[in-house]
Amino acid sequence: MTYGNPPKKYQFKKGQSGNPKGRPRKKPQTSTTLADDLRSELSEEIMVKKNGETKRVTKQSALISSIATSAINGGSSQQRLLVQILSMSGMDKDNPIDAKELQRHDEALLLELQKLGFKIDEADHDT
């Protein structure tokens, strides 16, 4: 029994590794799209105080509420934004927006984002 030569009782058995589970494999990096990041960010919940009462709401709900409040208080850019959101969602019509029209709106939005320099993968937004 010397340094580097442990007693037989503590030596590795034949055919048995010293690290049976081994080193964990590297997780493949999944690239997320802008839409995925935005969806996940807007779905997070935050605490909001409204009328003296604290409530849990999604960031999306808080954002829409903030835009609506600013629009009501006279913010012209928020008023335009609110009208655009209403028209894109189909809430400005008696009939709700259909899938083809929604897809056209999505494609127009993607083109605008590409013009601004955002990289968008074609395969990620196919339906």
What's the pLDDT tens digit per position in 16-49?
A: 767 777 888 888 877 778 888 888 888 999 998 8
126 phi/psi in degrees, rounded to 5: -75, 140
The pLDDT value recorded for residue 9 is: 85
What proportions of the chain, in percent to the nearest 5, are helix, strand and coil? Answer: 50, 10, 40
Locus of tokens 């960010």: 41
Token digits of residue 27: 């997780």
Q: What's the pLDDT band for 127 if we cut at 50, 70, 90? A: very low
The pLDDT value recorded for residue 120 is: 67
pTM: 0.46
pLDDT digits (tens, 9 = 90+) for 43-88: 999 998 888 899 999 998 888 888 888 888 887 888 888 788 777 7
